[in-house]
Amino acid sequence: MGVRLMVVDDHRLLAEALASALKLRGHRVLAAAAPAVGAADLVISRAPEVCLLGTAAPAEPGTFDPIVKIKRERPQVAVVVLGPVPSPRGIAAAFASGASGYVRHDERIEGVERAIMKARAGEAAVAPQLLQGAFGELLNPVAQPDDEGQRLLQMLTPREVEVLVRVAEGEDTRLIAAGMGIAASTARTHVQRVLMKLGVGSRLEAAALAARTGLLDRAGPVG
């Protein structure tokens, strides 16, 4: 049976894409919105069964304040966080705020759906490997935690970074080519190289990965 959902994410395009995918799988999506001051109030007013909350920085102070407010006003709403590979601090903060689950941003739609169903049933929706990784880092801390966004940025050439930013802004091959002053075939080749280096299969996945890891913020605007 379908679940009544809301999707809240930093990037509206990604929120709407996830909402559309979930609708196709039989779920009722009440809204897909970008986080703002009133995001928690919107969830409280619509009262979904499950809210998917996207974040690029789970360890940042205040990231999960909306969850605290939602759970205070609507304790029956299960909140599942969508984010990057979490640090122990990040995953602990999510659950301490009242989240019912944590799913990696690059999880397949089937995995997201499993988390939704578990959360609605009152179960903890978190992959065992995430918990193992978090506990492993707690037991064996590293001096310099891995910065996935920086690592990915170093894999790309400056031109590929510009292509990725343009992809994330919704430009198609024709617009990328025009904006960069290159042939459409060259732009298409750049896009394919970016997808290959990031290990993703589509432009949407590339945009999601770049947004979640903070790569877009590091890259800055195109111009």
The residues near 21 (Cβ < 8 Å, ≥ 6 apart) are: 109
pLDDT (tens digit per residue) in 162-213 = 999 999 888 999 999 999 999 999 999 999 999 988 888 888 888 888 888 8
Where are the extended beta strands (E) located within the chain?
Answer: 4-8, 28-33, 50-54, 78-83, 101-104, 125-126
* DSSP one-letter code for 87: P
Binned at pLDDT 50, 70 and 90, residue 151 comes out as: confident
What's the pLDDT score for residue 144?
45
So what's the pLDDT on residue 213?
Answer: 82
CB of 51 within 8 A of CB of 78? yes
For residues 104 and 86, the model is more confident at 104
Whether 122 shows a pLDDT value over 90: the answer reads: yes
Domains and CATH numbers, the chain: 4-139 (3.40.50.2300), 146-219 (1.10.10.10)
Assessment of whether the complete model's pTM goes beyond 0.95? no
Cα–Cα distance, 54 to 20 (Å, whole number): 16
Of 14-18, 32-36, 58-62, 86-90, highest mean pLDDT: 14-18
42: closest CA among 52, 55, 33?
33
Q: What are the pLDDT digits (tens) for 3-40? A: 999 999 877 888 888 999 999 999 999 988 776 567 88
